[in-house]
Amino acid sequence: MRDRLYRIGTGAGFSADRLDPAADLVERGRLDAIVFECVGERTLAFAHRDRRRDPALGFNPWLERRMKVMLPLCARHGTKLITNMGAANPRAAAAKTRAVADALGLSKLRVAWIEGDDVTDRIEMSGGMVGANAYIGADALMPALAEGADVIVAGRVADPSLFLAPLMMHFGWRADDWPLLGRGTLVGHLMECAAQITGGYFADPGRKDVPDLAHVGFPIAEVSADGDATITKLDRTGGEVSVRTVKEQLLYEVHDPTAYLTPDVTADFSKVSIAATGADRVRLAGAGGRKRPDNLKVTVAMDGGYLAEAEVSYAGPGAGRRAELAGAVVKQRMAGVQGFNDAVRIDLIGVASLLATADRRGDVDLATDARLRCALRTGDRAMAEALLWEVESLLTCGPAGGGGYRGRIDPSVTTETRFLDRGLVPTRVHWL
Amino acid sequence: MPLREIAHARAGDKGDRSNISLWVEDPRHYHAVKAQITPERLKSEFPRLMLGEIAVHALDHLCGLNIVADRALEGGVNASLNLDSHGKSFSFLVLGLTVEID
């Protein structure tokens, strides 16, 4: 069977991704495996925050909903489900998965979870550390696959490794066949963000029009034993798989294309060829690989206090100037009355916000619908509340015509990067 | 010529480092774009945003440039006060630049 194509799909490309395209993929895609890639720097930090609040939490908040829909489909079609939805708590995530399976009468499904990415006890920080996770690789998943896991729930497995592991198992690739691992890693890298290769994060009306974006399909990779692959999607789904969508994803969050570092390999994407071979079919070849890095990357989550944000809107003639005045009032009062001496961010949404730091500002005098946003970070809850109070009080004390106040305070976790010798990060498979 | 007319782009983040890949549609325009979208040009266009080192990696056979800018995300996704703390919008920041095409 090793000479046939391996069909692997993506069921989620980030924590909060859609579920209906994933169900469709398993229903109609004849998949060997489906991967739900759900951990990023931001979501892992949130997961640590959740686990700190409740030791039974800290895994992906959509896990239960996803498993309820996906487990029966995967069982019926013989599709393996591999995920890092365990985030900061894979043990609890696997227990929840087991419970969902049993409740659906799927007690025969073999559920494994992977321990070992949590390296909190091996990282020294001066204080405020919430948790630390090493990026573990395909090798952590291999024993579970070898023993016939139907579902694998892990934490901080590197995104492409979730795809590489089943390819290695299926084709019998050796763990030091670096060029093959480089090609499998390219497949994983292209697939890991789901719709980002099928027309999501791509449309620019008039320049890059995408068919039926509301129903964008998730991707399938058809991988051959030599590691080359075709990326495609199901018929009767929206979106597109084209040379352009594949190019954009090729370098997504890549720095030096000759050295994409994962726990498995140093992959080389610099000589990849990309060719359209049919409607929504793109063929990849030519990725390479060299020896894997000795050290594993570690994301350390730190207590980041609170992010406070408050907004109020101005409309009609002079709206931009009134919003600007309101922002100046908030800044003055946060410093003078509240005694807050750190940065207060002032945005004029619709005029100067996302790109304001890049000195690309709209014309304040022309703005007729401007939303003031004020934001700060602080370790002091009372100071976070003070910002909301100051912005809300603009309603009567600020410029004319201000309305639509909203304010929110979110606990915040910041992240730092460290490296650990891989010998210090053993992993282990558990069965439930 | 605005870059958006002749190229497409995608932005991503890792820590406080942003990367923007820029893909020139017509190979005849590629070398002019490559000659003009340099670290020096980017530094001078965005002096308050791209605070650290900037590298531009070229993939000539795909007519692609990968712009990698350190200290460009106001501390990174979990520290930034920017509404777009990932810098997802930076692809269009670059596509808003103009280049001279013969």
Looking at the structure, do residues A291 and A307 belong to the same domain, yes or no?
no
Of A252, A360, A377, the CB nearest to B10: A252
pLDDT of residue A45: 86
Closest residue on chain A to B65 (Cα): A251
The first and second tokens of residue A146, run together, are: 């070898």
What total of structural domains would you count in chain A? 2
pLDDT tens digits, chain B, 102 residues: what are they?
A: 999 999 999 999 998 999 999 999 999 999 999 999 999 999 999 999 999 999 999 999 999 999 999 999 988 888 899 999 999 999 999 999 999 998
Average pLDDT taken over every residue of chain A: 96
Phi, psi of B20 (to 5 degrees): -125, 115
The C-alpha atoms of residue A52 and residue B50 are separated, in whole angstroms, by 35
Of A204, A359, A414, the CB nearest to B48: A359
Residue A1 lies inside a defined structural domain of this protein: no
Is the confidence at residue A3, as pLDDT, over 80? no
Looking at the structure, do residues A172 and A134 belong to the same domain, yes or no?
yes
Residue A254 lies inside a defined structural domain of this protein: yes
Higher pLDDT, A307 or A414: A307
Structural domain span for residue A137 = 6-299+417-431
Residues contacting A272, CB < 8 A, separation 6+: A186, A250, A284, A285, A286, A287, B62
Does any CB of chain A come closer than 8 Å to the CB of residue B1? Answer: no
Looking at the structure, do residues A249 and A349 belong to the same domain, yes or no?
no
Looking at the structure, do residues A234 and A190 belong to the same domain, yes or no?
yes
Pick the closest to residue A159 from A71, A31, A254 (CA basis).
Answer: A254
Looking at the structure, do residues A208 and A220 belong to the same domain, yes or no?
yes
Is the confidence at residue A363, as pLDDT, over 60? yes
Looking at the structure, do residues A352 and A219 belong to the same domain, yes or no?
no
Find the mean pLDDT for residues A304-314: 96
Is the confidence at residue A1, as pLDDT, over 60? no
Which residues of A154-251 form beta strands (DSSP E)? 219-223, 229-233
The C-alpha atoms of residue A83 and residue A170 are separated, in whole angstroms, by 18
Looking at the structure, do residues A127 and A243 belong to the same domain, yes or no?
yes
Contacts of A415 in chain B (CB under 8 A): 15, 76-78
Residue A101 lies inside a defined structural domain of this protein: yes
Contacts of B24 in chain A (CB under 8 A): none
Closest residue on chain B to A302 (Cα): B78
pLDDT tens for each residue of A227-280: 999 999 999 999 999 999 999 999 999 999 999 999 999 999 999 999 999 999
Are B46 and A358 a contacting pair at CB < 8 A? yes
Closest residue on chain A to B5 (Cα): A207
The number of beta carbons lying within 10 Å of the beta carbon of residue A423 is: 9
Which run of H or E residues covers position A184?
A: helix A178-191
Contacts of A349 in chain B (CB under 8 A): 83
Are A251 and B82 a contacting pair at CB < 8 A? no
Of A273, A274, A358, the CB nearest to B93: A358
Residue A235 lies inside a defined structural domain of this protein: yes
For chain B, list the domains and their CATH numbers: 3-95 (3.30.70)
pLDDT tens for each residue of A153-186: 999 999 999 999 999 999 999 999 999 999 999 9
pLDDT tens for each residue of A120-161: 999 998 888 989 999 999 999 999 999 999 999 999 999 999
Say what the ipTM of the complex is.
Answer: 0.96
| Domain containing residue A326: CATH number | 3.30.70.1150
Pick the closest to residue A208 from B93, B5, B90, B71 (CA basis).
Answer: B5
Residue of B10, B41, B84 to mutate for A, most A C-beta atoms under 10 A: B10
